[in-house]
Amino acid sequence: MVAIFGLVSFLVVSLTVLPVLVLLLTAFRPQGKLWLDPAGFSLENFVNLASQPGLGQLISNTVIYVGGTIAIATFFATLWAWITERTDFRYKVTVRVLMILTLSLPSLIQGFGWVLLLNPSNGYINHLLRTWFDLETQNGPINIYSLGMMVLVSSFLLTPTIYVMLSGIIRNMDYKLEFPATLAGVSPWRILLRIVGPILLPGLLSVFIYTVMIMIQVFEIPLSIGLTGGIQVLSTRIYLLSTAELGAPDYNLAAAFGIVLVVIALFLVLLYQRLTRESEKFAVIGGKNFRLVAKELGWRRHAVHGYAVAFFLLAFMPVLILLWASLLPFYTLPSVEALANVSFDNYRQLFSSSLFQRSLSNTAIVVVLGSTLAICVSFLVAYVSVRPVNRWCRWLDVLSFLPIAIPNIVLGLAVLLLYVRTPIYGTIAAILLAQVVVNLVFGTRVISAALIQVHPDIERAAILGGVGRLRIMWRVLVPILRTQIFNGWLLVFAHGMRDVGIPLIFLTTKTAMLSSALWLLWGYPDVPGAAALSVVLIVLLAAVVMPLQVYMARVDERNS
C-alpha cells in the first residue's frame, strides 16, 4: 500500500502541482525569460498587465459576458425546471432528453452555426426578418458580432447545465411548505418571494458560483463570435498571448493573466465548497409526509407548448444550418432552388484531405488513450483517498481537485510552459498529458463516489487470502465498479472530443486534432468544409457514446 501511495503521490504532484508551479514561476520571470532560464524574479509582467491598453474594456467585457449569460440562462433554466418538476406538463421526459442532447453538442460548433444564422449580411434569420418585415437594409437587423449577442448565444448553451443542477433542487421542495400560504389566500407571487425564494436561495447561490467558475473558463463562443467583432474577454486574451495569432507569443504576460484567473477561480471554489458544506442548514426533505404535488397548468398549457417549440427550435437550428451548409459547394441561404446543388462533395473532399486524416488519427490517439490514462490515474487517486494509509492521502484528493479551479486555457498554457524545451513539446504527447491533467478531477469524483459505497471487508478478505493490492483492484474492485468507471471514461472521452482550448494552444502542423482542424477550416475560410467537419464530429461523438451507453445498460441489466 505504501508503494501505491508513493506512485499516486508522484502522479498527482507531477500532473497538477508542477504545471501550476511552472505557470507561477513564468509569471514572475523577467520579460522573455521562461521558468528554467537563469534569471531573477520580477513584477514586470504584472506591471505590464496593469498598463495594458484596453484593460478596463477587457474587464468590463468579461464581467458583462459572465454576468449577463448567467442571468439569462438562470431565468430559462429555472422556468424549465419548474415546468418539468412542479407542474403536470406531459412532455417532461422529452424535455429532459432534449436538454441532455443540447448539452452534448460541442460549443464551438454551435457558435459557428449561430454565425451562419445571424451573420449581418447573409445570416438566415436576418434574411427572414428582412423579408417578413420588408426591411430595405442589406445588413441586419441583428448583428451576431456584438457583446449582447455573444451573451444571448452563450445563455442558450449554459441553460441545460443550470437546468440539470436546478431541477433536483426544485424537485425536492416539499409542497407542505407552500400549502398553508395557499390556503390563506396568499398570492402566487408573494409565495414565490417570501417562501419559495428564500428556500431556493442557498441552492441558487451554489449554482451561481459554480456557473461563474464555468463561464470564466468559456472559450469557444468568445473565440468563434467575439474575435471577429473585436470583442475580447480574459480567456481569449490569454489565448492570443499564448499563440502566434498576434505575432510572437508572450508567455510571461499570458502567465500573469493566467495567475489572475487562477486566483479568481480558487476564491470561487472555496466559496462554493463552503456553501455546499453548510447545505444541511437548508434541508427541506424530512423523514415523513414529504410530498411532490404537480400544479395544473390549465390554460397556460398552450403557452408552455409554444415556449418549448420555440426554445428547442432555436437550440437545434445551429446544427441544422451547418448540415445544410455542408451539402453545398459554397454557402447559400436555404431555398428550394438551392436544393439542385446539394451533394456530398464536401464530405468526399474532407475525407481525402491530409488535414482530416492526420487530425482524426491524432484525436483517436489522444482522446482514447488520454481517457484511459485519466481513468487509471483517477482510480488510483480515488482508492488512496477513500482507503487512506496516512493523513497525507486526503491531501492527494484535494490536489486532484485543483484543476477544476484552473481554466482549461490557463492549464493548457501551464502544461505547454512545462514542456516547452523538452522533446515532448510539439508532439501529441503534450496534448495527451494536458488532457489527463484537465480530466483527472472528473474521473476522481465519479470513482470516489462509487468506491465509498464498497465496504472495506471485501478487500480485507482478499488480503487475508494473500492477494496483493493491485490484484485486488483489478480482480475485485474493477468488476464491482465497472459501470462507474465506464461512465467516467465516457465523460472524459466526450470532454476530450469537445475541447478546443488545449488543442489550439498546442497546435502545430503535426498536432492538429479535429477541433483545432475545425477552427483552421473556419478561419481559412472554408465554410462548407468546416460545416462538413462539424457534422462528422457530432456523428462521431454520438456513434461512440450512445452505443456504448446502451451496451453497458444491457450488461448491468443482465448481471443484476
- Quick check: 293 pLDDT over 70? no
Which of 194-198, 263-267, 320-324, 501-505 has maximum average pLDDT?
Answer: 320-324
* Mean predicted confidence (pLDDT) in 131-146: 86
* Mean predicted confidence (pLDDT) in 513-539: 90
pLDDT of residue 118: 92
CA 397 to chain centre: 22
Give per-residue pLDDT as tens, 64-83.
Answer: 999 999 999 988 888 888 88
* Range scoring the smallest mean pLDDT among 185-189, 220-224, 456-460: 185-189
pLDDT of residue 536: 93
pLDDT of residue 287: 45
What is the spatial distance between Cα 366 and Cα 555, in angstroms, rounded to a whole number? Answer: 27
What is the spatial distance between Cα 362 and Cα 529, in angstroms, rounded to a whole number? Answer: 19
Q: How confident is the model at residue 294 (pLDDT cuts 50, 70, 90)?
A: low
Greater model confidence, 95 or 205: 95
What is the spatial distance between Cα 524 and Cα 350, in angstroms, rounded to a whole number? Answer: 14
pLDDT of residue 284: 47
Alpha helices in 192-246 (DSSP H): 197-215, 220-221, 234-242
* Mean predicted confidence (pLDDT) in 390-396: 67
* Mean predicted confidence (pLDDT) in 510-535: 90
pLDDT of residue 174: 54
- Which three-class secondary structure string do you get for 73-130? HHHHHHHHHHHHHHECCCCHHHHHHHHHHHHHCCHHHHHHHHHHHHCCCCCHHHHHHH
pLDDT of residue 247: 64
* Mean predicted confidence (pLDDT) in 17-39: 81
Q: Is the pTM of this model over 0.75?
A: yes
Q: How confident is the model at residue 335 (pLDDT cuts 50, 70, 90)?
A: confident
- Quick check: 183 pLDDT over 70? no
What is the spatial distance between Cα 55 and Cα 320, in angstroms, rounded to a whole number? Answer: 38
* Burial (Cβ within 10 Å: 0-12, 13-18, ≥19) of residue 466: exposed
Give per-residue pLDDT as tens, 358-380.
Answer: 999 999 999 999 889 888 888 88
Residue 511 contacts residue 551 (beta carbons within 8 Å): no
Residue 370 contacts residue 439 (beta carbons within 8 Å): yes
* Mean predicted confidence (pLDDT) in 509-533: 89
What is the spatial distance between Cα 540 and Cα 530, in angstroms, rounded to a whole number? Answer: 15
pLDDT of residue 279: 46
- Whole-number percent of the chain with pLDDT over 90: 16
- Quick check: 129 pLDDT over 50? yes
* Mean predicted confidence (pLDDT) in 193-210: 68
* Mean predicted confidence (pLDDT) in 247-254: 79
Q: How confident is the model at residue 272 (pLDDT cuts 50, 70, 90)?
A: low
Greater model confidence, 211 or 367: 367
Nearest-5° angle of CA 223, CA 227, CA 231? 110
Please state the domain extents for the chain: 1-19+344-560
Local structure of residue 30 (DSSP, 8 states): P
What is the spatial distance between Cα 124 and Cα 176, in angstroms, rounded to a whole number? Answer: 49
pLDDT of residue 534: 92
* Range scoring the smallest mean pLDDT among 114-128, 196-210, 246-260, 329-343: 196-210
User: CB under 8 Å to 125, separation ≥6 — which residues?
Assistant: 117, 118, 142
Greater model confidence, 467 or 538: 538
CATH superfamily membership of 1-19+344-560: MetI-like (1.10.3720.10)
pLDDT of residue 175: 55
pLDDT of residue 282: 46
Q: Do you know the residue count of the chain?
A: 560
Greater model confidence, 247 or 11: 11
Greater model confidence, 144 or 508: 144
- Quick check: 507 pLDDT over 60? yes
User: CB under 8 Å to 247, separation ≥6 — which residues?
Assistant: none
Give per-residue pLDDT as tens, 421-480.
Answer: 788 888 888 888 888 888 887 777 777 767 776 767 666 776 666 666 777 777 777 777
Nearest Cα residue to 256 out of 44, 402, 35: 44
Which of 4-13, 118-127, 203-212, 452-461 has maximum average pLDDT?
Answer: 118-127
- Quick check: 405 pLDDT over 90? no
Mean pLDDT (the chain, rounded): 80
Query: For 513, left (φ over 0), alpha (ψ -120 to 50), or beta?
Result: beta
